[in-house]
């Protein structure tokens, strides 16, 4: 199958970009012809994709004459453009969050199905945007089990929070930092700084911060537990390493509405890349058949 995967960004080790990378590599490993494109691409993701045999095509080189069996889109701006460029090619769209406008689902006759990365968000997508529930499939974030596993796991005593330091995570990050201070636990924060509060956070709490690491699995395997956004990528990666997760729910204003400790689920194998990519392939076939 010839598959085009498109997203707004493909340059850093962040949520939706890692999603695209792992999906592309997983589908390529299944024997498919996979191409990734984005208006904003850079290394190291380009290099990692190409090393896995995934083609990387410049956004400006797309003509609309390319023959893809299916296009897997994410992000409103990218989806709208590709619906114009490839108006009849079947598409599926992943909605990574209901809290960012760039994730707003596009409605077009060529989009045959939508993907929610969590069960609770499926109903949010339906309620907020009117997407029919029967067009939304829940398929979790894919995680590379060759990296995230229980080999060499230990308890280093620290609490890990990996995620972009932005407005939506502000209350969550402050809450986790306060919990660590109260419980005398080191707090390790990893994520690109897209907010205006990092200096204040570090001034008020004992935070160990770095913007990015390529081997985040080492930090995950060494933590006491991780903090994550419900069943997002950080949560699943921690589970894969046998770690518990302090899971956060929040509303559209970024306020924390729920915090709970989650243990590793019995169906953890459902989150492996090969399982997720198999589910995506089945959805692609369904989209092609109409």
For the residues 9-36, what does the mean pLDDT come to? 94
For the residues 42-69, what does the mean pLDDT come to? 96
For the residues 172-187, what does the mean pLDDT come to? 97
pLDDT at residue number 15: 82
In the predicted model, what is the mean pLDDT of the chain?
95
pLDDT at residue number 104: 94
pLDDT at residue number 97: 87
pLDDT at residue number 112: 98
Is the per-residue pLDDT at 252 higher than 80? Answer: no
Between residues 63 and 119, the one the model is more confident about: 63
> pLDDT tens digits, residue range 65-89?
999 999 999 999 999 999 999 999 9
With contact defined as beta carbons under 8 Å apart, do 28 and 52 qualify? yes
pLDDT at residue number 253: 81
> pLDDT tens digits, residue range 192-246?
999 999 999 999 999 999 998 878 999 999 999 999 988 888 999 999 999 999 9
* Alpha-carbon distance values, 248 to 56, 195, 231, 236, 266 (Å): 35, 19, 9, 13, 20
pLDDT classification of 168: cutoffs 50, 70, 90: confident
> pLDDT tens digits, residue range 89-103?
999 999 998 877 889
Strands 55-58, 187-190: pairing is unpaired
> pLDDT tens digits, residue range 124-158?
999 999 999 999 999 999 999 999 999 999 999 99
Is the per-residue pLDDT at 25 higher than 80? Answer: yes
pLDDT at residue number 114: 98
pLDDT classification of 55: cutoffs 50, 70, 90: very high
Q: Is the peptide bond before 258 cis (omega within 30 degrees of 0)?
A: no
> What domains appear along the chain, each with residue ranges and CATH number?
2-142+272-289 (3.40.50.2000), 159-269 (3.40.50.2000)
């Amino acid at each position: 199958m010839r598959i085009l995967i498109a997203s707004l960004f493909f340059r850093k080790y962040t949520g939706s970009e890692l999603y695209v990378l792992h999906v592309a590599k997983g589908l390529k490993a299944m024997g498919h012809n996979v191409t990734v494109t984005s208006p904003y691409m850079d290394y190291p993701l380009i290099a990692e994709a190409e090393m896995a045999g995934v083609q990387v095509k410049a956004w400006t080189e797309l003509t609309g004459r390319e023959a893809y069996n299916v296009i897997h889109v994410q992000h409103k701006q990218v989806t709208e453009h590709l619906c114009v460029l490839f108006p009849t090619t079947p598409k599926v769209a992943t909605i990574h969050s209901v809290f960012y406008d760039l994730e707003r689902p596009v409605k077009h006759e060529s989009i045959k199905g939508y993907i929610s990365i969590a069960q609770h968000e499926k109903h949010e997508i339906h309620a907020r945007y009117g997407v029919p529930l029967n067009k939304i499939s829940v398929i979790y974030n894919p995680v590379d089990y060759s990296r995230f596993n229980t080999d060499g796991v230990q308890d280093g005593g620290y609490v890990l929070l990996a995620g972009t330091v932005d407005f939506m995570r502000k209350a969550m990050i402050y809450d986790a930092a306060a919990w660590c201070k109260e419980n005398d636990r080191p707090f390790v924060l990893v994520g690109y700084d897209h907010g205006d509060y990092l200096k204040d956070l570090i001034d008020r709490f004992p935070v160990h911060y770095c913007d990015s690491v390529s081997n985040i699995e080492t930090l995950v395997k060494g933590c006491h537990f991780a903090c994550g956004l419900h069943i997002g990528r950080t949560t699943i990666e921690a589970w894969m390493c046998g770690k518990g997760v302090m899971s956060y729910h929040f509303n559209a204003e970024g306020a924390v509405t729920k915090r709970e400790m989650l243990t590793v689920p019995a169906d953890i194998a459902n989150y492996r890349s090969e399982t997720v990519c198999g589910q995506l392939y089945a959805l692609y076939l369904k989209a092609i058949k109409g």
